[in-house]
Structure 1
Amino acid sequence: MSNHKHLSLFALTWPIFIETLLYMLMGSADTLMLSHYSDQAVAAVGVANQIIFLVIVMFDFVAMGTAILVAQYIGAKDVKNTREVALASISANFFFSFFLSAILLLFGKQLLYAMKLPDELLDEAYSYLAIVGGFLFVQALMMTAGAILKSHGYTRDTMYITVGMNILHIIGNYISIFGPFGLPVLGVKGVAISTTISRIIALIAIFFLLAKRTNLIPSLSRFAYLPMHHIRSLLKIGIPAAGENLAYNTAQMVITYFITWMGTEALTAKIYTQNLIMFVFLFGIAVGQGTQILVGYFVGAKQYEQAYARCLKSLYSAISISIAMAFTCYLLAEPLLSFFTHNKEIIEMGKTLLLLTILLEPGRSFNLVIISSLRAAGDVQFPVYMGIASMWGVSVALSYILGIYFGLGLIGIWISFIADEWLRGLFMLWRWRSKAWCHKSLVQFPVGTT
């Protein structure tokens, strides 16, 4: 087991930053490479991925609960329960993901019909969905094993695996789409096979490192190991977190629907601007995840003052860097936006939104860091209730009132984002300072128990 006392936030965070960045960039790789094959292929894979991404979110709640519980047990120096939670989470996500993978394989065509997919796209979309979706349990196992490694402090290992997986994926895509050396061009089916093979190789690598770093060796006989008290703890953390993510994504869908009323240029400006600010809040995501691991250690060891101070130090760092990065984006707004478009109106609109982003991102930092810390401490209900109330009562409501009713357009939408992030953020800060989370740890036993 790792000696967490020697882990710094920076050592945990920078590999998470690189790994998350790679996942975001690779989300565009298939689209860019398939665009050289055919526009229909891009559309087919895009629709299939909407279903796949929704299923992956459902796997993530087990991985999130795993990361927090393992960190708490490591902090409590409880080797037995650390191993039990890790095995239980791998088993639970395997059975759950295998069931969902089978549904995608058997009923993928019906799901695509339900999405009103045009007939000319159906065959390619189903080909991709059947291959990638049918093996999606591999991704679920990777996410769970990765969460266990990260909680032990081995964030570099998961980063290296992600780098290797993405290199294999790009090579496979190139062979499938361009057919070098006289090889057959497989198109969408080849991209799906490339995705699946790269994930299988990455899963083998991550299980090898899991055994090497933690002496945890998952086997077929252990997949049936499901102690219900650990499963209940995983669900107690994971389900509220999944509910919060679902509330956020559905709220964003409604707001995007409002923006479609404003016209194509407004929608385009929003997409381009969010593509840029994605790299701003990526740092906050990484700091939040790194802080979550450290706070989990401290809470498991019942070192509440250290947990309290760690969260606030991380918050100040995230706010400072997010302001600096947002300000830099604004200063470089014209050349950055010109990379996407030469439409002057879209560029001017984007510049205004990037100026407002200087106010938006510090508020988002509160939520990315403090919510992760509250979850790590076992305080999972408050962020969900506050999040749903603010996302819908402030963000969605103000988007309509300011953006549509008062005709402020995207400026009104961005003001609603700012109000939502800051309101939630300040409530989260109040909650953290109240220390109500101190007695919500899911690890209830004296330090040193083994």
Structure 2
Amino acid sequence: MENTQPQTPMFTRQALVRLMVPLIIEQMLLMTVGMADTMMVTTAGEAVVSGVSLVDNINILIINLFSALSTGGAVVVSQYLGRRDVENARFAAKQLLYVNLFVGAVLMAIALLFREHILRLVFGNISQEIMDAALIYFLLTAAAYPFIAIYNAGAALFRSMGNSKVSMFNSLIVNIINITVNAVLIYGFGMGSAGAGIGTLVSRIAAAAIIGVMITRPTHLVYIEKLLHPQFHWPTIKSILGIGIPNGVENGMFQIGKLLVLNLITSFDLGMDLAVKGSAVAANAIANSIAGVVNVPSQGIGLGMITVVGQCMGAGDDRQAASYTRRLLLASYCAMWVMNPLLFFGSPALVPLFKLTPATAALAIQVLRWCAVFNALIWPLSFTTPNALRAAGDAKFTMVVSMLSMWICRIGCSYFFGSAWGLGLGLLGVWLGMFADWVVRALFFTVRFIRGKWKLHQVI
């Protein structure tokens, strides 16, 4: 039953700003790691750009899995903190780190052993030049998976405490290292995809080392002690996985859907005169990089929502949880209304920075302008709102909706709108299928939030 008693606000406006602003900056910095790789290898040609961008789509899938598991841990820790149970919050933090590290090691081993098989399975017939660049980049970035796992766990724990400055400064260091190493190896030694891969690996190792040291310091409210003395507690792990697995399946299937659609996009380039029709793969890669930057403020607000709603639900105050969700959703829309006019009118100036052929640049500009419209209208309802549901423990609902919408709309509509046997709109058709997915997600999540069933779940 909804709590109707007057309550002291759990988060002041100043506290929300202190949480959200570093999160937005952090997400921007993390986005530029992959974007810097794509942008800096443009000097090596479109084949290398395509190879790096294809692998980055797989890496995004892996990173999202770590992020999903970390979200499960963040929800559990946030709810314990909302209940003022610091001891169990610290214990849950340790379990999260173990789970993430184990998953990271397993995924690294699979990727290193079967990377060529994975690339051919996902992307099908791509040119040998693209494959060669992708194999090198995949080898180096897959070695970073365990370090990405550690970073994601640590960053989620600091967010749970409302301390997002730590991960923000960590991300700044990561970017400085990544861009510096990239510049030396790509521009100085002409190493192309290998240089980008090494830069990513070195920066991820540094990120894991820094945040790993900081999360063991007892000066923080939540910290991990006796790190080398494993303590596995299945009930706590089960609570984490109860959020993390549905969220991981949701994120994983979402990225798999993107990879399946990428397979369609690669077919647009086969047998085409690229000088006339452009490279759909390269245009898609650049458009995704630019559009991703525009979404960063809302992504940061969505991450902060997990902390805010999680602590409110842990304290048993679902009324404040709903109120903060509405306020943060409005903030997400405000960010979109500022960023997307810039994207719509600025894309003709931004896309040429990537040194694409005129035909490829025209493709990228076309889809970016469509994206700006749907971002401003739909994106927050589709991607910010479900974070409130997850923070309350309603992760299975968001998983089911996202998976069905992805298969029916994102994949089905992309093939119908984009392929030759459908409307034949090419790359634009693929993006229209993605927008259809957003609309369906937004409808279901909004109805779920209004009806209030998300408040009935128990995490701890």
TM-score (norm. length: structure 2): 0.80
The question of whether the paired residues in 2 share the 8 Å contact of 1:281 and 1:365 is answered with no
TM alignment of 1:306-317, pairs within 5 A: 306-317=320-331
Structure 2 residue aligned with 1:434, among 451, 457, 460?
451
The question of whether the paired residues in 1 share the 8 Å contact of 2:86 and 2:221 is answered with no
Aligned to 1:385: 400
Aligned to 1:200: 205
After superposition, give the CA deviation of every residue in 1:302-341 in whole Å (9 maximum; x if it has no partner). Answer: 1101100111111122223313422332233433345455
The question of whether the paired residues in 1 share the 8 Å contact of 2:69 and 2:248 is answered with no
The question of whether the paired residues in 2 share the 8 Å contact of 1:266 and 1:410 is answered with no
The question of whether the paired residues in 2 share the 8 Å contact of 1:330 and 1:351 is answered with no
Q: CA deviation at 1:12?
A: 1.7
Judging changes above 3 Å, is the alpha-carbon distance between structure 1 residues 436 and 216 closer, same or farther for their aligned structure 2 residues?
same
After superposition, give the CA deviation of every residue in 1:263-293 in whole Å (9 maximum; x if it has no partner). Answer: 6448255544444332322222111111121
- Residue 302 of structure 1 aligns to a residue whose secondary structure is coil
After superposition, give the CA deviation of every residue in 1:32-53 in whole Å (9 maximum; x if it has no partner). Answer: 4456679887777667656655
Q: Distance in 1 between matches of 2:371 and 2:424?
A: 17
Judging changes above 3 Å, is the alpha-carbon distance between structure 1 residues 103 and 301 closer, same or farther for their aligned structure 2 residues?
same
- Residue 226 of structure 2 aligns to a residue whose secondary structure is coil
Aligned to 1:363: 378
Aligned to 1:447: none
Q: CA deviation at 1:122?
A: 8.9
Aligned to 2:29: 22
Judging changes above 3 Å, is the alpha-carbon distance between structure 1 residues 195 and 390 closer, same or farther for their aligned structure 2 residues?
closer
Q: Distance in 1 between matches of 2:311 and 2:249?
A: 25
The question of whether the paired residues in 2 share the 8 Å contact of 1:172 and 1:194 is answered with yes
After superposition, give the CA deviation of every residue in 1:126-177 in whole Å (9 maximum; x if it has no partner). Answer: 7765665345322211111111011111111101011112212333344445
Q: Distance in 2 between matches of 1:412 and 1:40?
A: 23
Q: CA deviation at 1:240?
A: 1.1
Q: Is residue 376 from structure 1 mapped to residue 385 from structure 2 by the alignment?
A: no
* Letter paired with 2:448: R
Q: CA deviation at 1:86?
A: 0.2
Q: Distance in 2 between matches of 1:227 and 1:257?
A: 41
Structure 1 residue aligned with 2:162, among 147, 153, 163?
153
TM alignment of 1:219-298, pairs within 5 A: 219-222=226-229, 224-259=230-265, 264-265=277-278, 267=280, 270-298=284-312
- Residue 221 of structure 1 aligns to a residue whose secondary structure is coil
The question of whether the paired residues in 2 share the 8 Å contact of 1:270 and 1:350 is answered with no
* Letter paired with 1:321: A
Judging changes above 3 Å, is the alpha-carbon distance between structure 1 residues 52 and 276 closer, same or farther for their aligned structure 2 residues?
closer
Q: CA deviation at 1:429?
A: 1.0
Q: CA deviation at 1:28?
A: 3.2
The question of whether the paired residues in 2 share the 8 Å contact of 1:377 and 1:441 is answered with yes
- Residue 216 of structure 1 aligns to a residue whose secondary structure is coil
Q: CA deviation at 1:261?
A: 5.8
Q: Distance in 1 between matches of 2:115 and 2:426?
A: 38
More displaced 10-residue stretch of structure 1: 250-259 or 184-193: 184-193
The question of whether the paired residues in 1 share the 8 Å contact of 2:50 and 2:130 is answered with yes
Aligned to 2:97: 90
- Residue 213 of structure 1 aligns to a residue whose secondary structure is coil
Judging changes above 3 Å, is the alpha-carbon distance between structure 1 residues 191 and 316 closer, same or farther for their aligned structure 2 residues?
closer
Q: Distance in 1 between matches of 2:187 and 2:266?
A: 36
Q: CA deviation at 1:361?
A: 3.5
More displaced 10-residue stretch of structure 1: 41-50 or 322-331: 41-50
Q: Is residue 60 from structure 1 mapped to residue 73 from structure 2 by the alignment?
A: no
Q: Distance in 2 between matches of 1:113 and 1:185?
A: 26
Q: Distance in 1 between matches of 2:347 and 2:128?
A: 41
Q: Distance in 1 between matches of 2:375 and 2:95?
A: 39
* Letter paired with 2:104: S
Judging changes above 3 Å, is the alpha-carbon distance between structure 1 residues 262 and 152 closer, same or farther for their aligned structure 2 residues?
same
Structure 2 residue aligned with 1:137, among 141, 146, 149?
146
TM-score (norm. length: structure 1): 0.82
Aligned to 2:6: none
The question of whether the paired residues in 2 share the 8 Å contact of 1:360 and 1:417 is answered with no
* Letter paired with 2:444: F
Consecutive unaligned residues of structure 2, counting only runs of 5 or more, are 1-8, 270-276
Q: How many residues align?
A: 436
More displaced 10-residue stretch of structure 1: 4-13 or 406-415: 406-415
Consecutive unaligned residues of structure 1, counting only runs of 5 or more, are 444-450
Q: Is residue 418 from structure 1 mapped to residue 435 from structure 2 by the alignment?
A: yes
Q: Distance in 2 between matches of 1:56 and 1:376?
A: 19
For the aligned residue pairs, the C-alpha RMSD in angstroms reads: 3.7
